[in-house]
Copies of this chain bind each other. A is one copy, B any other.
Amino acid sequence: MAAGFALHPQLAADTVPVADFALSTVLLMDEPAWPWLVLVPRRESLREIIDLAAPERALLIEEIARASTVLQSLFAPDKLNVGALGNMVPQLHVHVIARNIGDPAWPSPVWGAKARERYQPADLQDLVRRLRGAFA
């Protein structure tokens, strides 16, 4: 954990940690409509991708690729959505989301598309275990 880094409380409340990459902590969004990961670079006071130095940006895109590959291998989605928005939660974070034709927001973006739900505890536990295994 880099000095001064703290996960934004909203991200902490909405997610469960599943992996620590070299730069980013990988979180699972607790929303059963989509397999949805969030990467948060462990650096203080970041808002934009361009707040990272170039070597860290190179790391970030490889970590996005690694998260994407795991979602593809576990869920075989029709499409991946990758986005760094931060309009609501200012801490730099990158969404990597498995999308399927006919999913609850398709073909729109997932953000704000539906009322928030949460996994059943046993389903969440099982999914976290599978993701941690895939990232190990």
Contacts and interface: CB of A to CB of B under 8 A. Distances in A.
A87 B65 contact: no
Nearest to A64: B49
Nearest to A67: B50
A109 to B, nearest CB: 5
Interface stretch (A11-19, A35-43, A76-84): A76-84
Interface string A61-85: 1101100110010000001111111
A89 to B, nearest CB: 10
Given A50-B65, A50-B72, A108 B87 contact: yes
Interface residues of A, number: 32
State the copy count for this chain. 2
Given A49-B64, A64-B49, A108-B112, A81 B80 contact: no
A81 B85 contact: yes
A20 B71 CA distance: 32
B81 A99 contact: no
Given A48-B68, A61-B61, A83-B83, 9 more contacts: A49-B64, A49-B65, A50-B68, A58-B58, A58-B61, A83-B84, A83-B109, A87-B106, A88-B107
Please give me the 7 A-B residue pairs with the lowest Cβ-Cβ distance, nearest first: A83-B83, A87-B107, A61-B61, A82-B84, A50-B68, A57-B61, A58-B58
